[in-house]
Amino acid sequence: MLGLRLQNSRTRLAVAGVALLLLSACETYTPAEAVAQNEVTWINLTHDIEFVGSESALSVLEQARLNDFLVQIDAQATDALVIDPGMVDSPLTAARASAVAAFVQRRVPTSQPQARRVGLGGGTGLRLIVGRYLVVPPECPNWGKPSYGDPMNTLGSNFGCANQVNIGLMIADPGDLVRGRRLTPGMAGAAVLGIERYRAGEVFELDIANTTEEN
C-alpha cells in the first residue's frame, strides 16, 4: 500500500513538472515575437556648402564637393531635398540657394530642391539636407520558437521572415512601405473601353498559351 502511494506521488510530481515546463514556455514566447517586419525610419543627410566673399556662384571646389556628396549618398529624385540658407535672409542668400538648386537639378534629374530655413545652416554658407526613408530588414532566419509542442498553434518565429527581407532589399523607395504613391492623371476614355466592350458584347477572347505544341 505504501509503495502504491509513493508511485502515485511520483506520478503527480512528474505531471506537475511537465505542466510547469509548458507554462514557462508560454510565458517566454508570445505570438507577437513571430511577426517579422521591415523597420522603416526617416533620416537626414547633410552637406555644408561654402561661398567666397559676396559670390553667389559655386566655386569649382564646392561643385566638386557637392557632386561627390550626391554620388556618395546616391541621391534620387524621390529624396526630400531642402536647401537651408541659414539665419540671414537677403537677396544674396536667395541667389546662392538658387545656384545650389540648379546644380542639384542637373545632377539629379527631375528632383525638386526646396529652399527653406530649418535652423541647421550657419556660417557663411548654406546647408543641403537630403531626407529619405531607410529600411532595415528583420534578421533571418529566426528559429527562436521551437517547432514542436505548441498546443496554441501560434505562428512560427521564422514565419514570413524571408518575404519581408526580400521586400526590404528590392524596394526602390522605402517610403512606399509607409504610404502609397499618389496616382497620376489617367485617360478616362481608355479606362472605360473595357466596360463599353462588355456592354456591347464585344469582349476580346483570351489568348490560351500552350506550352506543349508549337505555335
Domain boundaries, the chain: 2-37+137-177, 39-136
Is residue 85 helix, strand or coil? coil
Q: Which of 12-21, 26-35, 171-180 has the lowest mean pLDDT?
A: 12-21
- Give CA–CA dist 158/140, Å, rounded: 7
Is residue 126 helix, strand or coil? strand
Proportion of the chain above pLDDT 90, given as a percent:
38
Q: Which positions ≥6 away from 199 have C-beta within 8 Å? A: none
Q: What single DSSP character describes residue 121?
A: -
Report CA-CA distances (Å) from 215 to 118, 209, 211, 212.
64, 9, 9, 9
CATH 1.20.1250.20 fits 39-136, yes or no: no
Strand partners, 43: 132
Q: Is the predicted pLDDT of residue 15 greater than 80, yes or no? A: no
Name the packing angle between helices 91-107 and 60-72 (round to 10°): 50
Q: Which of 202, 136, 144, 204 is nearest to 167 (CA)?
A: 136
Q: Which positions ≥6 away from 180 have C-beta within 8 Å? A: none
pLDDT band for position 45 (50/70/90)?
Answer: very high
Task: Provide the whole-model pTM.
Answer: 0.64
Residues 66-121 pLDDT 10s: 999 999 999 999 899 999 987 777 889 899 999 999 999 999 999 999 998 886 55
- Determine the average pLDDT of the residues in 1-10: 48
Q: 68 vs 9, which has greater pLDDT?
A: 68
